[in-house]
Amino acid sequence: MLFTCVKAENMKLKRSFIWIAFFIIPVIPAVMGTGNYLQNIDILKSQWFSLWTQHTLFYSNFFYAPLIAVYCAYAWRVENFNHNRNALLTAPVPVWCIFLAKMVNIFWVTLLTQIWVGILYFVCGKAAGLPGMPDGIILYWLFRGVWGGMAVAALVLLLSMVIRSFAVPVGFALVGGITGLLAANEGAGMYYPFSLMMMGMNSNKYEDVLAGDGMRFLLSSTVYTAVFCIFGIWWLSVRDVKA
């Protein structure tokens, strides 16, 4: 049943406008980060790692969370209009399948987003004249950022379900990204979902901020994702969600 629900969610993505956001939004921090790198190339001496710090300075802090929020808001967009939610909830489908199918969809779109971000990073590096190939750990940071992002995805998917608005979850995620940066700088990143996605990507850092602490990061991200999913499933099963 879950697989069928996932297929139904995938059908909604065909010819969806989120692909415009998918392709265009990551280009903005890539261009900004590369420009910042080239303007400060005299002091940024670590080549590919320096470029990574500049790309993630903008992407992880200001664009990643809102982009996930766009995916989450769109996942509930159809159900939020014309009593479609009532039709969905009266279908012979378990509520948990409905919520988790949306999460699965957001996961794979986020994974594709991170791959696209990695491609842009490589292309920008070559355009900036960097030699050779980036270190393989960058790929690890990209995929680790997916798992950190899932804690945010579960939270914003819940919010998008409760509040029938497209703009509110996106604005919430933008504020969350900024506060996540502050929490990470204060040493509280492991306890704040919006910080986890930044720490997973090793945002604006040369050395791995999670070195020796990967299990705690994995546990924290998993727990937050599970808690928000469980609460979302419970809410959907017992409440008539209203704007």
Tens-place pLDDT, residues 106-129: 999 999 999 999 999 999 999 999
Examine residue 37 and state whether it is found in any structural domain, yes or no: yes
Examine residue 152 and state whether it is found in any structural domain, yes or no: yes
Q: How far apart are CA 57 and CA 182, in angstroms?
A: 13
Q: How far apart are CA 199 and CA 204, in angstroms?
A: 9
Report the Cα–Cα distance between both ends of the chain, in Å, rounded.
29
What is the radius of gyration, based on Cα positions, of the chain?
Answer: 19
Examine residue 219 and state whether it is found in any structural domain, yes or no: yes
Report DSSP letters for 164-185, one per residue. Answer: --SHHHHHHHHHHHHHHHHHHH
Cβ atoms 233, 95 nearer than 8 A? yes
DSSP category for residue 189: G
Q: What's the farthest any 2 CA atoms get from each other in the chain?
A: 63
pLDDT of the residue at 240? 54
Residue 191, Cβ density class (10 Å: 0-12 exposed, 13-18 middle, ≥19 buried): exposed
pLDDT of the residue at 242? 45
Residue 42, Cβ density class (10 Å: 0-12 exposed, 13-18 middle, ≥19 buried): exposed
Residue position matching structure tokens 């492991």: 190
Domain that residue 51 falls in: 2-238
Examine residue 243 and state whether it is found in any structural domain, yes or no: no
Structure tokens at 234: 């419970």
Q: How far apart are CA 69 and CA 194, in angstroms?
A: 12
pLDDT of the residue at 92? 77
Query: Which amino acid, 91?
Result: A
Does residue 88 sit in helix, strand or coil? helix
Per-residue pLDDT of the chain (243 residues; tens, 9 = 90+): 787 888 888 888 887 889 999 999 999 999 999 999 999 998 988 999 999 999 999 999 999 999 999 999 998 887 777 666 666 677 778 888 989 999 999 999 999 999 999 999 999 999 999 999 999 999 999 999 999 999 999 999 999 998 888 899 999 999 999 999 999 988 899 999 999 999 999 998 888 999 889 999 999 999 999 999 999 999 988 875 443
**Residue of 116, 83, 86, 107 whose CA lies nearest to 9:** 107
Structure tokens at 191: 């306890």
Examine residue 194 and state whether it is found in any structural domain, yes or no: yes
Structure tokens at 190: 């492991």
Question: Total structural domains in the chain?
Answer: 1
Residue 17 has a CB neighbour count (10 Å cut-off) of 10
